[in-house]
């Protein structure tokens, strides 16, 4: 029988507050000397008490309302108990039966259908992050591990979706949009590689007509959108194969091994009762002033969807372009900055979506760190407009700009790769090409247009691409007639 894929996601985002969730330690821990960014509270030393950072609440509410959640007026903090060396208190302060936000949704557009697909958001809650273990060598054969508590107590929002995805690609599309939303909200930088956005994916199969869910497997450790999709696809295939052989799926947690592109069983899935949840006695129930929630809702910044529509309207670019350009906050900002400097918004979009994104991806550089700024990109486009370089030459210049960070005009000056503007120089080359290719000239005279393209190509070759193709195209015809 045909199987249907069912996927639900659990996403953790690090909230970009200045201080940690329950103490005054900074959240700026990356690159710091291990265990220097801590205090008695986040180390869980006896006698220390947590105090909730109000900004954490604000950021979490912002996230929840942007995902159309209802805000619980009173929610609770719970202790989630587990023993692992990255957790000095041996419990994590989290939320359990009454989370901050519930019953939300987010809409995604799927390429194959015009209709929007609504994904239910089960809950949004806040919790503190744990520390990090650093394993000596490979995790499986590691002889010892070190622990760094700098990340302990960093505020997180956990977003749990309903099992509403029907393919790995849908899950990927959702994640891209969610990342852009939290970036636009200013609550998280969405960097999956650095772990400020993490995703656990749950997947099961069921008979296409069934209304009950199959046994799910949870996958962890994917650090890119592509990895999430790949891991889910691997898991779908693995489960299909097992079911076809009549083997039952066991509920478990599996680890995605990026280098081998496989999921590996980590442990049987723990149940809620394994965590011995109980209300956090050191914190009062969390009362949210609904006025504050309303205020936050009213003052939400422009979100990716609205921005995309504005891009289509204001800059007259296709929906496809607008979708890509708003897929991250920084990319949208780059584009808008560029449009303030240059009026042909479609040309800008082409260069950004084409060359720029390609080079950034190839070099694993984030747009924020792009060696080509909007000013530099526009500087190059102006050289094309002025006829100083051709579009083709600009591609080479773009590459040099990317590698060196130099301005286009400087690159042109240093290398002398301008277009040939001296007509006599071009006439000379054309005449030479005509003389060297009598067959093609004859073909052209017999009405074969193709021959002309060949001759133009030869001129471009002789001039190393520095001739203006349209000019050569028009002129070489006249020169043939003259000869
Ligand atoms: P747990 O308590 O095991 O973490 P939850 O019921 O809280 O399980 O669900 C966790 C995530 O798994 C949610 O995103 C949910 O949508 C998803 N999920 C639940 N059941 C299934 C299933 N049978 N197949 C796929 N995903 C599922
Ligand atoms: Mg879970
Ligand atoms: Zn601290």
> What pLDDT tens digit does each residue of the chain (483 aa) get?
789 999 999 999 999 999 999 999 999 998 899 999 999 999 999 999 999 999 999 999 999 999 999 999 999 999 999 999 999 999 999 999 999 999 999 999 887 777 889 999 999 999 999 999 988 877 777 888 899 999 999 999 999 999 999 999 999 999 999 999 999 999 999 999 889 999 999 999 999 888 899 999 999 989 999 999 999 999 999 999 999 999 999 999 999 999 999 999 987 766 767 899 999 999 999 999 889 999 999 999 999 999 999 999 999 999 999 999 999 999 999 999 999 999 999 999 999 999 999 999 999 999 999 999 999 999 999 988 887 888 888 999 999 999 999 999 888 888 777 777 788 888 888 889 999 999 998 998 888 888 888 888 888 888 777 787 788 888 888 888 766
- 310 and 362 housed in the same domain: yes
- 338 and 411 housed in the same domain: yes
Output the pLDDT for position 424: 85
Last residue of a domain, one of 397, 415, 433: 415
- 57 and 105 housed in the same domain: yes
Q: Which atom in ligand 1 lies closest to the alpha carbon of residue 272? A: 2
Count: domains in the chain: 3
Last residue of a domain, one of 415, 444, 471: 415
- 307 and 284 housed in the same domain: no
Map residue 192 onto helix, strand or coil.
Answer: coil
Q: Which atom in ligand 1 lies closest to the alpha carbon of residue 213? A: 23
Residue whose Cα lies nearest atom 22 of ligand 1: it is: 216
Residue 440's domain comprises: 423-481
- 78 and 227 housed in the same domain: yes
- 396 and 454 housed in the same domain: no
Last residue of a domain, one of 394, 415, 436: 415
- 398 and 265 housed in the same domain: no
- 330 and 446 housed in the same domain: no
- Picking from 305, 455, 467, the residue whose alpha carbon sits closest to that of residue 390 is 467
Q: Alpha-carbon distance 108 to 114, whole Å?
A: 11
Compute the Cα dihedral for 35, 38, 41, 42 and give only its sign. negative
Output the pLDDT for position 453: 86
- For residue 100, give the DSSP letter: S
CA of 296 to the centre of ligand 3 (A): 27
Q: Alpha-carbon distance 75 to 446, whole Å?
A: 85
- 383 and 443 housed in the same domain: no
CA of 131 to the centre of ligand 3 (A): 12
- 241 and 371 housed in the same domain: no
CA of 255 to the centre of ligand 2 (A): 15
- 449 and 408 housed in the same domain: no
């Amino acid at each position: 029988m045909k199987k249907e894929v069912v996927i639900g996601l659990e996403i953790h985002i690090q909230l970009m507050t200045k201080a940690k969730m329950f103490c005054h330690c900074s959240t700026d821990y990356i690159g710091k000397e291990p265990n220097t960014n801590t205090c008695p509270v986040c180390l869980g030393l006896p006698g220390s008490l947590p105090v909730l950072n109000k900004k954490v609440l604000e950021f979490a509410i912002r996230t929840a309302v942007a995902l159309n959640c209802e805000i619980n007026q009173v929610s609770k903090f719970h202790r989630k108990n587990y023993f692992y060396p990255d957790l000095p208190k041996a419990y994590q302060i989290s939320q359990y039966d009454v989370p901050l936000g519930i019953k939300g949704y987010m809409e995604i557009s799927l390429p194959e259908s015009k209709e929007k697909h609504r994904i239910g958001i089960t809950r949004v809650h806040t919790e503190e992050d744990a520390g990090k273990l650093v394993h000596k060598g490979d995790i499986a054969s590691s002889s010892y591990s070190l622990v760094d508590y700098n990340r302990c107590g960093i505020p997180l929002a956990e977003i749990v979706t309903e099992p509403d995805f029907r393919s790995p690609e849908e899950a990927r599309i959702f994640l891209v949009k969610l990342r852009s939303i939290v970036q636009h909200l200013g609550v998280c930088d969405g960097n999956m590689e650095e772990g400020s956005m993490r995703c656990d994916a749950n997947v099961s199969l069921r008979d296409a007509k069934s209304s009950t869910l199959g046994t799910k497997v949870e996958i962890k450790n994917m650090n890119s959108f592509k990895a999430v999709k790949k891991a889910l696809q691997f898991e779908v295939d693995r489960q299909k194969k097992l079911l076809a052989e009549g083997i039952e799926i066991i509920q478990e947690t599996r680890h995605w091994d990026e280098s081998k592109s496989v999921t590996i069983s980590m442990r049987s899935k723990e149940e809620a009762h394994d965590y011995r949840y109980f209300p956090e006695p050191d914190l009062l129930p969390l009362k949210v002033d609904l006025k504050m929630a309303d205020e936050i809702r009213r003052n939400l910044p422009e979100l990716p969807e609205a921005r995309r529509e504005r891009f289509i309207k204001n800059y007259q670019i296709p929906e496809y372009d607008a979708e890509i350009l708003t897929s991250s906050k920084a990319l949208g900002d780059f584009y808008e900055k560029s449009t303030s400097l240059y009026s042909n918004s479609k040309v800008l979009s082409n260069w950004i979506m084409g060359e720029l994104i390609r080079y950034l991806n190839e070099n694993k550089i984030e747009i924020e760190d792009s060696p080509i700024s909007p000013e530099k990109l526009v500087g190059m486009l102006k050289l094309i407009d002025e006829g100083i370089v051709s579009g083709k030459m600009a591609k080479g210049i773009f590459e040099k700009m990317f590698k060196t960070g130099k301005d286009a005009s400087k690159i042109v000056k240093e290398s002398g790769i301008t277009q040939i503007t001296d007509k006599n120089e071009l006439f000379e080359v054309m005449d030479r090409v005509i003389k060297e290719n009598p067959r093609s000239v004859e073909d052209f005279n017999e009405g074969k247009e193709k021959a002309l393209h060949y001759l133009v190509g030869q001129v471009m070759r002789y001039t190393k691409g520095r001739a203006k193709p349209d000019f050569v195209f028009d002129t070489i015809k006249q020169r043939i007639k003259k000869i």
